[in-house]
Structure 1
Amino acid sequence: MPNKKLCAGAVIVAAGRGARMNTDINKQYIEIAEKPILARTVEVFESCRHIDEIVLVVNESDIIYCKQNIVDMCGAVKVKTIVSGGEERQASVYNGLCEIDKACDVVVIHDGARPFVTHKIISDSIEAADRYGASCVAVAVKDTIKAGDKEGFISSTLERSVLWSVQTPQSFRYRLIMDAHIKAAEEGFYGTDDAVLVERLGVRTRLVMGSYENIKITTQEDLVAGEAIVRSREARHRKE
């Protein structure tokens, strides 16, 4: 991190229903190794010294449950507020951004369903956003990626060396990401992540190395992978 003290806020988005998980409860509250996914995510940001405040974005019907069973149980004093999400992820992020302290230099946007993010990834993301304006955590693509045409045939093989699988956090100077969201809303544009909104303003986004452990819990198979990550980390910790 740079020598100067940055004010950094985090928007953790956990408003999705998680239909692909096929469970009776929202996926953010499913347990991995006896701890809710969202609790694991919040704990990482709570304990990260570079994060000054946290805004949680959840389904409106989950606000009280989240306060009692995630924030209070974790003792998360950095959580400034819990706000309701919108119809789309983009609207949910904007709702969270509106609650971030305007004095923050950088805002970190993270998926609540990515509980295995690390302090280093967060701090690297903040540093890059402070320097370049925008940063996006990603990992190099391992597989060969091919483009297909409308008839179901391969149209081209993409150059793997320049392809990245995007993760979160994505971090931005606060005013920049607010302007990007406002412009997108005015023009009716919906992106699949926040970086694309900034790209539309002509701002280059700095890639920050993530981790193959920084998975998003989306399906039942991801829960199995998550349990394995927890066991692996616990084993590494015992050896240290």
Structure 2
Amino acid sequence: IEYSFGVPRRVKTVVVSSQHDDGVELAHLQADIMEHVVHHVIPAGLLNSDTTYRINPSGRFVIGGPKGDSGLSGRKNIVDAYGSSGRHGGGSYSGKDPTKVDRSCSYAARYVTKNIVAAGLADRAEIELAYAIGVAHPVSVSLETFGTQNVDYEVIDGLIKKHFDLRPAAIVRHLDLRRPIYRATATYGHFGREDIDAPWERTDKADLLRREAGLPQAEGARR
């Protein structure tokens, strides 16, 4: 959803993944969801010819529930993340390997925003990433700097697109997440830790972002 001063202006992308019986044709399912869900729920004024629809984008979705996605569901999402100081999408980290976007893309969000702040592009930053099953690139990247940005939003947005590959496989590769580093995150949270191997805490892109944004060299790295 695209917002202007906190008010919804346009729905950019609609993502629906619905489990179905084995004999249901995908085209029929997509048409039914458009008619009975999308157009029933979303006000027509927020949809236009540029709206993208991703309805069961990975195709057939017959096997689901515990058979399709077993493992721990997570029971401490907020304490794992930022407490009450940051918004949370609801996906848990613990119990999931890094191929799950709940885990890897939450780490990527931390990595992006920490580098934005360390570069001085903003004093505070929060990023929302949204994904659709079967689609590599995020269907939505929404940045909030709470009025603390030191350069135009368009500049920050362009630098994110240029220097951060937010496809799940690319995140796993860049942050080297296929390693046994997660036991230490079982307690005391996943973020702001200097006592564990947490590659999402690196600020290795800060100097590059600062330079390309045209900001003066910082005297000391920001946290």
Q: Which has the higher helix share?
A: 1
Q: TM-score, normalised by structure 1?
A: 0.29
Structure of higher RCO (CA pairs closer than 8 Å, 6+ residues apart): 1
Q: Which has the higher strand share?
A: 1
Report the structure number with the largest CA radius of gyration: 2
